[in-house]
Structure 1
Amino acid sequence: MGGRMELLRTRHAGVDDVDAVLAFWKEAAEGTSISDDVAGVTRLVERDPEALILAEHTGNGGIVGSVIAGWDGWRASLYRLAVHPDHRRQGISRLLLDAAHTRFLAAGARRTDAMVLVDNELGQSAWSAAGYQREDHWRRWVRPLSG
C-alpha cells in the first residue's frame, strides 16, 4: 500500500504504553470498560504481552489504533478495536485485524469473535466490512466481581 499506510506499523503494547493507551481510548473508543484503568491495562499486558496490539505512526510514535486480541487457548476474542477519529477509513482497522488474525492462527485458533456495542453503528460497519457476522442467538451475561 502506498501513502499513509507506509507511515504506520503495528506492535505489541508494553507497560510503558498504558497511560498513552488509556488517553487514546478516551478519544477514540466507543464506551468504556470497568478495566479501563492503569491497573487493568497493566495486568493485561503483563499477563499476555501479545494481546494489546497498537497501530502507530513510525515518525512520531503516536497511537492511531488499537485492538485487544485475547487468546486463552480455547477462544480467540477481540476487544477495543479503535481508530483515532482523524485516521478512520484509511485501512487501520484492517491492519490491526490482520495482526490479530495472524496471532490467532499461529496459536491454533479456529474462529474469533468480537463484542460490539449495540449503538455503535460505526463499529458494526467496520466489523461487517472485515467479514464478521452478527449472531443474534447469543446473549452476553455479566456479573461484576467484587474483592
Structure 2
Amino acid sequence: MKIRSFRWPDYDAVAEVWAAAAREVVPRAELVRKLTRDPELFLVSLAGDRVTGVVMGTFDGRRGWILRLAVDPAHRRQGIAGALVRELESRLRALDCPRINLLVMPDNAAGLRFWQSVGYLPMPDVLCTKPL
C-alpha cells in the first residue's frame, strides 16, 4: 500500500470510492477550492495504481479536521483507514496543529468504534449547521 497526496487524475477513482462507501461525492468545483488551501491534506491510498481509500483533511490555523474518510469496501480490513489517518495526523502535526476534530453521524456505530480505536474520543458538542 502506498499513500500520497491526491492528484486530479485520481478524481474519478476517488469518486468511485466515495460512492462505493455510500458517501456523498464532493464535486470538482468544491475540491478546487479545497485544494487551493491545503492540498497536502487530501490523501489517497493505492494498491498498485488503484485508489483504495481516501481521506480529506483541513487546517484553519487553529484546529485540524478530518473529513471524508472512505475505503473501498473490497479493500476493507487491511489497515488502510488507519494508515490514512496516521499519515494525515503526521502532516497536521508538521503544520503545528494542536488538535484534530471530526464528525461521526450518530447512526454510524462502526465508524465510532473505528475512531475510538485510533484514539479519538466522543465529545458532547452540539453540531449546528446553516446552508448558504
TM, length-normalised to structure 1: 0.82
Q: How far does residue 50 in structure 1 lie from its aligned partner after superposition?
A: 0.8
> Aligned in 2, Cα 1:47/1:14: closer, same or farther, shift over 3 Å?
farther
1:8-57: CA deviation from partner (whole Å, max 9, x where unpaired): 100100222222211220012x4427xx2121123322432112111111
Corresponding residue number in structure 2 for 1:92: 80
SS at match of 2:40: coil
Q: How far does residue 75 in structure 1 lie from its aligned partner after superposition?
A: 0.9
Give yes or no for contact 2:44–2:55 (8 Å, CA) kept in 1.
yes
Question: Which of the numbers 50, 53, 75 marks the counterpart of 1:62?
Answer: 50
Q: Tell me if 1:12 matches 2:26.
A: no
Corresponding residue number in structure 1 for 2:14: 21
**Quick one: which amino acid aligns to residue 41 of structure 1?**
L
> Aligned in 2, Cα 1:121/1:134: closer, same or farther, shift over 3 Å?
same
1:84-142: CA deviation from partner (whole Å, max 9, x where unpaired): 11111211111101111111111111111111111112211110111111101x11111
SS at match of 1:124: helix
Distance, in Å, in 2 between the alignment partners of 1:126 and 1:80 is 14
Larger Rg over CA atoms: 1
Corresponding residue number in structure 2 for 1:110: 98
Corresponding residue number in structure 1 for 2:27: 37
SS at match of 2:66: strand
**Quick one: which amino acid aligns to residue 5 of structure 2?**
H
**Quick one: which amino acid aligns to residue 144 of structure 1?**
P
Corresponding residue pairs, total: 132
Distance, in Å, in 1 between the alignment partners of 2:42 and 2:3 is 10
* Structure 1 residue runs without a partner (length 5+): 1-7
TM, length-normalised to structure 2: 0.91
Distance, in Å, in 2 between the alignment partners of 1:100 and 1:48 is 12
SS at match of 1:140: coil
Q: Over the residues paired in the alignment, what is the CA RMSD in angstroms? A: 1.5
